[in-house]
Amino acid sequence: MPLLARGNIQSALHPRGSDADRIADLGIVMFIGGGAIFLTVIAFALLALFGPERVRRMLRQHAFIVGGGIVFPVAALSVLLVYALLTSAALMRAGNPPALRIDVTGEMWWWRVVYVDDAGRRIMETANEIRIAAGRPVEMRLTTADVIHSFWVPNLAGKTDMIPGHVNRQRLVAHAPGVFRGECAEYCGAQHAKMAFEVVALEPAAFDAWLASQARPAPSPVDALALRGRQAFFTHDCGKCHTIRGTEATGTAGPDLTHVGSRLSLAAGILPNSIGAFGGWIAASQHIKPGNEMPSFDRLSAEDLRALAAYMESLQ
Ligand code: CUA
C-alpha cells in the first residue's frame, strides 16, 4: 500500500482524490497568480518612489493609472473568477452513479457512519472510521444530530458543512489505497479539536471482504477475561448507550461498538486502539475529552476495567 508520510495524511497539498486534485490545482493557480501580481505591484511602487525620473513620469500618466488600477485588476480577477467557478461546477457534477452510499452524522464529538446499499437498505453502522474502495466513487450524505459540524478529508475532497435538518452530499474517490485523516472543520463546542476520523481506502476486493465482515454480528468472546468483560459491560449498563450487534446491547446514543476492536483509533481519532487506551478511555473519558456524553467509569474495579477493555479489543 503506497502510504503517505505521517505528516501528509491530512494535507490538501498532497491530493489523492479527484476533488482534492482540482482544489489543489485551483489553490496553486490562485497562489501563483496572486504572488505574481503582488510582486509586480511592489516593483512598480519601488520604481515610483526610487526609480529614475523618466520611469516615475511614465508611472504618473493617466493611462497607466487607469490601465494598472482598473483594467488589469478587472481582467485578471475575471479570469480567476471564471476558472474558480468552473472548478466548483466540476466539483458539484455527479459523474458516474456511486457504487455505495455512506451516511455520516456529526455528533458532539464523534462521527456516526452508516453504510447503505444501492437499494437504500442499511448495511451496517460503525463510527469514526470510514473505509472505501480505491477507485470507486462513494456518495457521502452528511448531516448532524446537534450543532453544525464540517466534514473534511483534505487529501480527498473539500470541506462540506453538516447542517441540522439538512443533508449535504459529497462525492469521495480515492485514486489508490491509503490511510487519510479527516477532521471536523467547523467549531462545534469544547471538544471540536478532538473530533477526527480516518478514511481507509482499500483494494476493492479487500473492501468487499471488510464490509461483509463488518455487517456480521459481533464475535462471542472466547477467553475468560473477555467473557468477564462482557459481563461487566452489561452490569454497568453500557448497552443503554452502545449497540453491540448480536447481543442485547442496542443503545444508540453513543458509537456502535460491534467491531470496535478492528478500528484504527478510539474516541474519534484521538487515542490509539489498544487495551490500555480502552481502559484509560472508559475510566477517564471526562478527563481525556471533558464534556463528552460518556461519564468516566472510575468506580470500576481494576479487574473489571481490564476485562472490559479486553472485551472491547476482542470485538474484531
Ligand atoms: Cu464537530 Cu467541530
295 in any annotated domain: yes
Atom of ligand 1 nearest to the CA of 109: 1
67 in any annotated domain: yes
Q: Does the Cβ of 192 fall within 6 Å of ligand 1?
A: yes
Closest to 60 (Cα-Cα) out of 73, 47, 74: 47
Among the three residues 38, 71, 92, which one is the final residue of a domain in this structure? 92
Indicate if 104 and 211 belong to the same structural domain.
yes
Question: How many distinct structural domains can be found in the chain?
Answer: 3
* DSSP-assigned letter for residue 138: E
Q: Does the Cβ of 159 fall within 6 Å of ligand 1?
A: no
Print the domain residue range for 266.
Answer: 224-314
* pLDDT at residue 230 in the model: 96
Q: Does the Cβ of 162 fall within 6 Å of ligand 1?
A: no
2 in any annotated domain: no
* pLDDT at residue 1 in the model: 47
C-alpha cell at 109: 464529538
Q: Cα of 194 to ligand 1 centre, how many Å?
A: 8
* pLDDT at residue 248 in the model: 94
Peptide bond into 110 cis (omega under 30): no
160 in any annotated domain: yes
* pLDDT at residue 60 in the model: 87
Q: Does the Cβ of 145 fall within 6 Å of ligand 1?
A: no
Indicate if 106 and 195 belong to the same structural domain.
yes
Q: Does the Cβ of 195 fall within 6 Å of ligand 1?
A: yes
Among the three residues 92, 111, 145, which one is the final residue of a domain in this structure? 92
Atom of ligand 1 nearest to the CA of 148: 1
* pLDDT at residue 276 in the model: 95
* pLDDT at residue 95 in the model: 64
10 in any annotated domain: no
Indicate if 206 and 229 belong to the same structural domain.
no
55 in any annotated domain: yes
What contacts 73, CB < 8 A, 6 or more positions away? none
Cut 0.75: pTM above it: yes
6 in any annotated domain: no
Q: What share of the chain is helix, strand, coil (3-state, %, to 5)?
A: 40, 20, 35
Q: pLDDT (tens digit, 0 to 9) for every residue of the chain, 316 residues total?
A: 456 677 789 999 999 998 999 999 999 999 998 999 999 999 999 999 999 999 898 888 899 889 988 999 899 999 999 999 999 888 877 666 677 899 999 999 999 999 998 888 999 999 999 999 999 999 999 999 999 999 999 999 999 999 999 999 998 899 999 999 999 999 999 999 999 999 999 999 999 999 999 999 999 999 999 999 999 999 999 999 999 999 999 999 999 999 999 999 999 999 999 999 999 999 999 999 999 999 999 999 999 999 999 999 999 9
Q: Does the Cβ of 104 fall within 6 Å of ligand 1?
A: no
Q: Does the Cβ of 173 fall within 6 Å of ligand 1?
A: no
Atom of ligand 1 nearest to the CA of 106: 1
The protein residue whose alpha carbon is closest to atom 1 in ligand 1 is 149
CATH of the domain at 306: 2.60.40.420
Cα 146 from Cα 283, distance rounded (Å) = 26
Among the three residues 92, 125, 155, which one is the final residue of a domain in this structure? 92
